[in-house]
A and B are shown apart, each in its own frame.
Chain A
């Protein structure tokens, strides 16, 4: 079976220019630097990492909201990397985005009905069909018909996120890229929205690329998880295996840093020193070596490649993990 989405060696470098009149390129911010993964229909891939690691840029590049610098994006087996104009627009119908901030992503001058109708209008769905669909969608996301004529400011954060989800569903997409969809919400509301997203996935067979920094939420919703650091995936695997047996030192540190809601737990914490280096000047060799507690001379010089580290297909890019079998790209275990 071809995966719904396949990304091969995706790169996005933003140029740094100098000079106002004749700008010349003096460097590049390597926001995404060689990301590869596969995502099967109906599954969820969680993308985690700290701010600035390139997870949002990855999401946006896949949607082609940002033009990739290098690499290939295959959607339903079709190479969409160089698609433009009408063809791209038709394809966008099948890929939607849910944003982090439900305050900024809804137009304050439009009613909920107009907001949800807009994508359908763009694709020329007639008024009667739109009306019917809007009622359906509001019902699916747990809002009532009388909410239709209200404006975004009349809603709470959780309700606004529901409107955002309804809009994303308006065109019956296959893939939804969720960019931190619950991080702006309170815990009790967050749980409601996560439950809703899970229900929708079951009902409509949706595929999610779930981008978030909250490791608990990602664990809960994902089938597979990819951990990103400075534009690269450093570890990838089954959600629970990755959390129980993290192989990459970065994943280990990240997981040990989560404060857990259990006062009896005395965790052995790996506190990383310093901050994430700037993606404009990423360290040579292994990008994590500046903060890695295990770093050796080799890490400064040689860049580790992704290798399979467990029989179930968990992969990590570190010189110090033992390889099982071999393979340099992701294989999603069945």
Chain B
């Protein structure tokens, strides 16, 4: 291995067995996270971005879900082979996660202090008093005023933005090397979203952790991510750095996403929407899953599935447009 990766995901397949068929929620995803970087995963609902994250944490509800194939190498160790007991040492300690809705992910019957110290007491051999002191520091770190008094408050006594700060404090309790943020700002107002994004940037600089940022908002991606993976129907369609993604997007789906965002220009142009809607994952057809909605689709797209390949240095795309081009060039 030339480069040092914190996390490597190789050919990950996560499936759900339902009464009406097998749903391939994550279908052959490959990526790696370097220490200290921010990787963005973008896609629409049902594209498999959250399932990818849950697979890394091994939190896929099972049954009906199951990781059927692949490797998740964390510092070279395959997490898929770990037992539940071993995973518990990793979750919340080495890898932590924050969720979209801070109200449902905090327990309403315990105070914030109790919930914060729980993480510390589980993973670190500390006394109750030490844990409380550390919890106060954490709340201070995430910018909650009067942290000592706030520890005694219950989640409902916090506003949405403050709750998300508490969630972040909890996730940071054990200095994780990797933070997985699943739509952390989607439920928040823009001004509060700006606060949380600034906070995440600041914390990353101070603590040096890597972040996997799952979002559907390309604005958030442009703001915070170093590299971006675009997902569609469980597959990875494009993977590159953020500048290339916005400057020279390659996949027709990425074009569609970028065109769908209203531009704030004086002359209003009609939005170029992607026609149709995402496919039903239970009844995926042969070929490229995006072919149905793709403006560039050819007959071969409905027969042959594209493969992810590097079309330019550091720019991976899964689309037949480029595969055939490559063939003719050669």
Chain A interface (Cβ < 8 Å from any Cβ of B) = 50-51, 156-159, 186-192, 194-195, 198, 213, 215-217, 219-220, 240, 243-244, 253-254, 256-265, 269, 271-272, 275-276
Contacts and interface: CB of A to CB of B under 8 A. Distances in A.
Given A50-B191, A187-B44, A217 B262 contact: yes
Contacts of A158: 277
Contacts of B191: 50, 253-254, 257, 271-272
Interface in B182-225: 189-195, 197-198, 216-223
B243 A263 contact: yes
B189 A189 contact: no
A220 B217 contact: no
Contact of B261 (A213, A216, A257): A216
Given A187-B260, A264-B243, 13 more contacts: A50-B189, A191-B259, A191-B260, A191-B271, A191-B272, A191-B274, A257-B191, A259-B223, A260-B219, A269-B194, A271-B191, A271-B195, A272-B195
B190 A195 contact: no
B275 A262 contact: no
B193 A259 contact: yes
B262 A219 contact: yes
B242 interface: yes
Nearest to B253: A188
A128 to B, nearest CB: 33
Interface string B213-240: 0001111111100000000000000000
Contacts of A189: 44, 273, 277
11 contacts: A50-B189, A51-B160, A51-B189, A159-B277, A186-B278, A188-B257, A191-B262, A191-B274, A215-B264, A217-B262, A264-B246
B194 A187 contact: no
B305 interface: no
Nearest to B194: A257
A51 B220 CA distance: 20
B116 interface: no
Of A186, A240, A263, A265, the most chain B CB neighbours within 10 A belong to: A263
A158 B277 CA distance: 8
Contacts, number: 123
B266 A240 contact: yes
Given A188-B256, A259-B223, A195 B218 contact: no
B161 interface: yes
A192 B223 CA distance: 25
A271 B223 CA distance: 14
Interface string B244-260: 01100000000011111
B257 A213 contact: no
Nearest to B217: A259
A271 B260 contact: no
A215 B197 CA distance: 18
B268 interface: yes
A219 B259 CA distance: 16
A244 B265 CA distance: 9
**Nearest 10 pairs of A and B residues by beta carbon:** A259-B219, A191-B273, A220-B262, A191-B260, A257-B194, A186-B44, A50-B189, A188-B274, A191-B271, A261-B218
B162 interface: yes
A258 B219 contact: yes
Contacts of A192: 273-275
Given A257-B190, A261-B261, A188 B266 contact: no
Contacts of A215: 190, 264
Contacts of B278: 156, 186
Contact of A263 (B159, B216, B242): B242
B129 interface: no
Interface in B40-71: 44-45
B260 A190 contact: yes
Contacts of A156: 277-278
Contact of B222 (A220, A257, A263): A263
A254 B246 contact: no
Contacts of A244: 266
A82 B268 CA distance: 39
Nearest to A52: B189
B270 interface: yes
A174 to B, nearest CB: 23
A272 B159 CA distance: 15
A276 B190 CA distance: 12
A190 B272 CA distance: 11
Nearest to A216: B262
B216 A275 contact: no
B44 to A, nearest CB: 4
A198 B268 CA distance: 11
Contact of A271 (B198, B245, B261, B272): B198
Contacts of B194: 256-257, 259, 269, 271-272
B151 to A, nearest CB: 19
B221 A188 contact: no
